[in-house]
Chains A and B, each alone.
Chain A
């Protein structure tokens, strides 16, 4: 019982943190589907329920009226193309909700007006409505939430985000796969093969974990430039950035995978060895399948990091339009379309959609892969 207040505190702060993260994200999500004008006048939370508004519609001056048995009838819709539900209407600004929807209002001079719930009105009178001022119709209406995909259409095709999306994928996917391939081999050797200097090599890799990557940007770029000049190719290429991301990701990859693989039962390897398997066969048929949780958890890390990376991409790929990655495009948009919330919200969502998908697809391996090896 003594720990009860602590438990409550823990639960409360968890809820708080979850709200702190998910609420703005959700708001961004809703905003990205809203109309530019709606964003300007109301908050995203109002977009979810039906909004009540008071409005006025001026009936046309006799256009489209029909004469029948001496009465002129004018029909139309107060919403003029939009949709909604009329709750009440009136004919003067003093009493804008004098009549309920569906009632018939007497305007005097034999004229009458009725507005149905769906917004269609019928105005009829003994004389033509031509050459008169259009009748004002005040109404109270509720509008259902309205969402649009226009923002996404705009950012993906007009603002170049689609192109950048592909660029980011071109950077992130190989930058995730290549280090995993290399690290898996290295991790197996470092955990299950005997060779002199193994412990030293592991220590060196752990040491590399703490080297800040900013430190190596300029030396690396100089090497790239020199190699590009010597061999006659563009130093700022996708291959270059794949190599850079691979290098930056490898220490963590090897470290994580080795820790996982070293925790696999020794008897399984020995059994496979007695069964006649070579090291390569043990690696491909036993260690790799069993290490899937660790591979997946590293894949999440590396993918998120390369997808969200701006620094390495700008340095090794450059800011040209055809190679600009998503993060870079977002930065540009912030500058050029800083006031257009609908554009920014939709862009932000395009850029976080993939990480969210990757995370939810692999999240069950994330915790398992991180805990394995450390907790027995």
Chain B
């Protein structure tokens, strides 16, 4: 239930700069998700907010109070770890009571907080069990319950679902979404490398890459209006196709001749000066449609993956480029080794120059 503000926060281990110039404004009640590839510093950033890592530069404020030097226990945060980090020798009840007992809260208050959290998380029948007698999902709920009883200003989740199997992950993801709905005022920061979790849970996603923020925005904003090639390829699965091309016509609708010979039109407007410039055209696999007319891309299908609801087509790559991927709804048999022409509607075609999107902000 607090605002969080990061001003040019940085982290370095000696000469190695892990994070630099992180500016972020988190409003009360938001669920912010940090995503990014392995090693992008997302967990480090979370641990810096938690107070488990020192902050090498910049200022972290919670409710306007600088927190750089405040120990973890006094920042008013609660953290849920990937490995649950339950105290294995304590019952579920004692696990949840630990923080409150340390804080010397009266027993009645402790019991009430535990009862309430257990009810929300459906843990009441398990309160006297040891963690080892619980399933993975139940353990994760205990870890969340341990955070809830403290009534923290900010909840921090560090890849909380990574240790669960696929089915349980979906169920727990929905539980977390419901939990957030029950506590609309609580501020949550959630780290994950799973973009489905990010897309479904977040009110805003922070995409981190190479120690910096690549883009901040709502899930659909990131999907529809990626600011750069990294975000464009990171969000969405399979990743967006990027094809080299040259601008042949500018204006409200831009025309690009692709290296493969095809011509594609994009509703991204361009200045006249851009004519002849080298750009990269981004088209999501799901936005390709097979065509008999003017093709943006033409190639031989090398591999098909039939998933039932959709069929993925991997086209033969030319040179060292990544293969173009198309995602067609429904079942398409017998396309392998056939040559296929694809087109895309102009409003789904992204243009990037020097890695940055040409889409106006």
Tell me the A residues contacting B by CB distance below 8 Å: 265, 267-268, 270-277, 281, 285-286, 289-290
Contacts and interface: CB of A to CB of B under 8 A. Distances in A.
Contacts of A281: 102
B73 interface: yes
18 contacts: A265-B83, A267-B82, A267-B83, A270-B52, A270-B81, A270-B85, A271-B146, A273-B73, A274-B50, A274-B51, A274-B79, A275-B98, A276-B73, A276-B74, A276-B103, A285-B98, A286-B87, A290-B88
Contact of B89 (A270, A272, A276, A289): A289
Nearest to B87: A286
Nearest to A271: B85
A273 B75 CA distance: 11
B142 to A, nearest CB: 12
Contacts of B188: none
Given A281-B102, A290-B88, A274 B83 contact: no
Given A267-B82, A276-B73, A276-B103, 19 more contacts: A265-B83, A267-B84, A268-B85, A268-B86, A268-B88, A270-B52, A270-B79, A270-B81, A271-B85, A272-B87, A273-B52, A273-B71, A273-B72, A273-B73, A274-B52, A274-B73, A274-B77, A274-B79, A290-B88
Contacts of A272: 87, 98
B102 A277 contact: yes
A267 B88 contact: no
Contact of B72 (A274, A285, A290): A274
B42 interface: no
A272 B49 CA distance: 16
A274 B78 contact: yes
Q: Chain B interface mostly helix, strand, loop or mixed? A: loop
Contact of B85 (A265, A276, A285, A290): A265
Interface in B45-78: 50-52, 71-74, 77-78
Contacts, number: 57
Interface of B: 50-52, 71-74, 77-79, 81-89, 98-99, 102-103, 146, 150
A267 B77 CA distance: 16
Contacts of A273: 52, 71-73
B193 to A, nearest CB: 18
The 4 closest A-B pairs by CB, nearest first: A276-B73, A267-B85, A275-B99, A271-B85
A276 B99 contact: yes
Residue among A267, A270, A271, A281 with most chain B CB within 10 A: A271
A277 B73 contact: yes
A268 B88 CA distance: 9
Contact of B81 (A267, A276, A286, A289): A267
A62 B134 CA distance: 86
Contacts of B81: 267, 270-271
A212 B283 CA distance: 74
A237 B86 CA distance: 47
Given A276-B99, A276-B102, A268 B87 contact: yes
Contacts of B51: 274
Nearest to A270: B52
B88 to A, nearest CB: 7
Most buried by B among A275, A276, A285: A275
A275 B102 CA distance: 8
A289 B91 CA distance: 13
B89 A275 contact: no
A333 to B, nearest CB: 46
A273 B79 CA distance: 10
A271 B87 CA distance: 9
Contacts of A276: 73-74, 99, 102-103
Given A270-B81, A274-B73, A276-B103, A290 B89 contact: yes
A277 B73 CA distance: 7
A84 B102 CA distance: 71
Contacts of B103: 276
A70 B260 CA distance: 142
Contacts of B99: 275-276
Contacts of B83: 265, 267
Contacts of B71: 273
A195 to B, nearest CB: 15
Contacts of B89: 286, 289-290
Contacts of A267: 81-85
Nearest to A276: B73
